[in-house]
């Protein structure tokens, strides 16, 4: 593992919050299509990595 489990625990709340934001973003786009799923997921993944709330 790249990280000790106790370090990852610190990011749990951030991961949950950003996962909820990502889910809400997808729900808001229900009548449209995500053209590039990789960039969409990368955006939210970077928010988790950077600890952006």
pLDDT tens-digit map of 5-44 = 887 788 888 889 999 999 998 888 888 887 888 988 998 8
- SS3 call for 36: coil
Per-residue tokens: 1 = 């593992």
Vertex 30, ends 25 and 31: CA angle to 5°? 130
Please answer whether residues 44 and 18 qualify as being in contact, where contact means their C-beta atoms are separated by less than 8 angstroms.
Answer: yes
**Residue whose structure tokens are 């991961």:** 15
Confidence of residue 53 (pLDDT cuts 50, 70, 90): low
Q: Which two tokens stand for residue 37?
A: 């799923």
- At 4 the three-state DSSP class reads coil
CB count in 10 Å sphere of residue 45: 13
């Amino acid at each position: 593992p790249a990280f000790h489990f106790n370090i990852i625990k610190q990011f749990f709340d951030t991961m949950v919050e950003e996962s909820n934001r990502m889910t809400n973003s997808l729900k808001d786009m229900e009548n449209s299509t995500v053209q590039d799923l990789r960039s969409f997921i990368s955006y939210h993944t970077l928010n988790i990595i950077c600890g952006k709330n």
